[in-house]
Each structure stands twice: as C-alpha cells, then as structure tokens.
Amino acid sequence: MPKLTTDLRAAHGTEGDVLLHVGTGQMFAVNSVGSRILQLLGSGATQPEISKQISLEFGVDPEAVRNDLAEFLAHLARHKIVGLELDAQSNEATGENG
C-alpha cells in the first residue's frame, strides 16, 4: 500500500495543494484530484479504494482512474513523496502479479 512520507507538508487551496518535501526541499503543486488522492492516502486507503472513490467523486471511468492513479503514484514515488509498498490486496484487485 502506498504510504505518504512524514517529510511532506502541504498548503491547501481551492484549486489544489502546494506540497513541500522538507527532506529534499522540493515543492510540488497538485490539482484538486491530486489533492483528494493525497487525502485518501493519508487516511490509509488502498489503491483500489482510492480508484473507486475518485471515479465516484469525479465521474471518471474506473479504468482511466486506475491507470492515471498508478502513473501519479509512480511519479510521487520517484520524488519520494510516497513509498510504494503494494500489498497482495492491491495486486489482486488490479490483476497484477508481484
């Protein structure tokens, strides 16, 4: 399951968030969808749970959400904002094998 780094600080706005990784000093901006994904990650939601919730809240095709979420999480992982520790439940739900 993806986990947010404890080095992350966020300023919340109406159109999204500005993030600061205090360990690296890098800043990032995310839109309202990215902000919601980070909220769900912070609450401990799994990738399948996040995909389902984003699809429902934003009226987006579930398959598109799954693909975009995987890409977004990989991007966050490259910048050490999340650690990607995929659990068996996430892999089974997405049809991926470790």
Question: What CATH number does the domain containing 83 carry?
Answer: 3.90.930
Report the domain count for the chain.
1
Based on the number of CB atoms within 10 Å of its own CB, is 50 exposed (0-12), middle (13-18) or buried (19 or more)?
A: buried
- Nearest 10 degrees: Cα torsion 10, 31, 92, 61: 160
Q: What is the pLDDT of residue 9?
A: 82
Taking the whole predicted model, whether its pTM rises above 0.85 is answered as: no
Can you give the residue range of the structural domain that contains 52?
2-94
Tens digits of per-residue pLDDT, 38-90?
Answer: 999 989 999 999 999 999 999 999 999 999 999 999 988 888 888 766 444 44
